[in-house]
A and B are shown apart, each in its own frame.
Chain A
Amino acid sequence: MSLLEDFAAALLASDQACPAGLFSSNGADPASRFAVYRNNVHGSLINALATAYPVTLQLVGDEFFRAMAGCYVQASPPASPLISEYGATFSGFIQGFEPAASVPYLADVARLERLRVRAYHAADALALEPQAVLQQLQTHTELGTLHLQLHPSLATLDSRYAVVAVWAAHQTEGAIATLNPWHAQGALVLRRGLEVKVFAIDSGSVAFIDSLNQGAVLEKALAHALEASAEFDLHQCLALLINQAAITHLSLEHKVSP
């Protein structure tokens, strides 16, 4: 083992062992000083998760969150110096974290918070003004073959729980008392200008937006949405995307002649 190999392994090891070959000039036990490095590593990574997942933290409390995040740090330490990307697999870890099973919607709230961080740092793109979109929609005769390109920050989430309601209740004081988390809800996350926005949407809208994001033309996306939910309201969903300046480009499908 190389010198730093030993040091690196001991930083993440679950026992409190101190690597060999270290000393303190005053003769103090090197383990008492190595603990500073161990605490710095764990503390900084747990703090990074606490910053990225504030509602997840509120749902279980600081002590529980830090213990859970500590287990995650040991299981999945960062692989990149880009700390804003750290924790991409945290929600999956929470899903399987037995002690958190009593808060079944915790993992989905973490997924939502991940999408918010992603949207915050996503690439900039000029969105079409609502008026411009409406004008184009009115001039096209073959609406079904339209491609809608959506903003790079935009993503959806489908949950068995009222994930947006739970998240929103923690943004304002006193909103938690009336909260009912036990119904399915979808989420739309996007950045408009500098602000990340979260909307509750139904499962049909999730299917519709996901289809558009995967490159489907309007009529195919509509078919997917209606498969997901017979009550899908195309008008309402399009209005949301248009009014939130989520559409960056409109184009007709180029049909290849046989």
Chain B
Amino acid sequence: MMTLSFLQTPSAAQVPGLPLRAGLGLKNEHFTEVLDTCPDIGFFEVHAENYMVAGGPFHHYLGLIRAQYPLSLHGVGLSIGGENPLNREHLARLATLIERYQPQAFSEHLAWSTHGPVFFNDLLPLAYDVAALNRVCEHVDQVQSTLKRPMLLENPSTYLQFQRSTLDETDFIGEIIRRTGCGLLLDVNNVYVSCINHQRDPLTYIDALPLHAVAEIHLAGFAEDTDSLGERLLIDDHGAPIDNAVWQLYEHVLARTGPVATLIERDNQVPAFSVLLAEAQQAERHLSRGRP
């Protein structure tokens, strides 16, 4: 059954959004370099929570950079997959930030980060059952009606599965998108990390997603560990260059979707801006291959 917000808001993939180019996560250590060199980049993305401050350099620089580039606002603290009601104060802060910077896209995660009084500062996994599906859909509806725009939901990277789950992750995501009209932020690195960790085929996983709803792609690097059996355990740490396997998977996605706005994410061990720019240019080469 379709909910009201689907009827009220056009689906995210149809809204004029980010340019079909490569973008970069904006790090504060690169503020002045970006303004001084005006790099040829499709868009910048920032974590919404970092800009929920009263004033100072963060707003100063983001204002200047926003005047020159399209912007994607990426939330990490809404806890859409949580069991608690959404934090209305936080949602109001998001609305204020969106009003101020008019980003071309707003995205959040299929995960939880708050439970009871504690914020865990991590994207934590949920069991995929009907109760969770209803809850997440209500939360996405609430976000979209408060922000008066469609949001994008990002597929998670996970290390464990819940015995209680009764739905596949891809079906769970497909149903949220069908019911709420939100878009899909397809994190290709998350697909690869989760599929290796759960012994799934990444191509099959991708093909089971509602690819028509993909409005943005994330690419990032992972760290590698081993579990109690000594088997590969990939950790989504955003601290390394993008792996070849992820580039190949990206190529597979683009063949199915056509060009999609693609973000290079690096949040740890942030290298020189030129290194990130080179990764963005590599993504642009993949994107241009898909153009007519």
Task: Show the binding face of A for B, using Cβ within 8 Å.
Answer: 2-5, 7-8, 11-12, 21-34, 36-37, 40-41, 44-45, 48, 77-84, 86, 119-125, 152-153, 191, 194
Contact = CB atoms under 8 A, between A and B. Distances in A.
A120 B61 CA distance: 13
A22 B163 contact: yes
A8 B115 contact: yes
A40 B82 CA distance: 18
A30 B160 contact: yes
B282 interface: no
Given A8-B115, A81-B76, A82-B52, A32 B122 contact: no
B121 A122 contact: no
Contacts of A21: 127, 162-164
Chain B interface, >50% SS class: loop
B53 interface: yes
Contacts of B125: 37
Contacts of A84: 50, 52-53
Given A4-B83, A32-B227, A37-B122, 15 more contacts: A11-B124, A21-B162, A23-B161, A24-B198, A28-B233, A33-B159, A34-B160, A37-B125, A40-B122, A40-B235, A78-B119, A81-B76, A84-B53, A119-B56, A120-B56
Contacts of B228: 28-29, 31-32
Contacts of B56: 119-122, 124, 153, 191, 194
Nearest to B232: A26
Contacts of A12: 118
Contacts of A123: 54-55
Contacts of A37: 122, 124-125, 159-160
Interface residues of B, number: 51
B162 A3 contact: yes
B129 to A, nearest CB: 9
Contacts of B118: 8, 12, 77-79
Interface string B194-238: 000111100000000000000000000000010111010101000
Contacts of B233: 28, 32-33, 36
Interface of B: 49-50, 52-60, 76-79, 82-83, 87, 90, 112-122, 124-127, 159-164, 197-200, 225, 227-229, 231, 233, 235
A233 B75 CA distance: 49
A45 B121 contact: yes
B115 A122 contact: no
Contacts of B159: 33-34, 36-37
Nearest to B237: A40
B127 A3 contact: yes
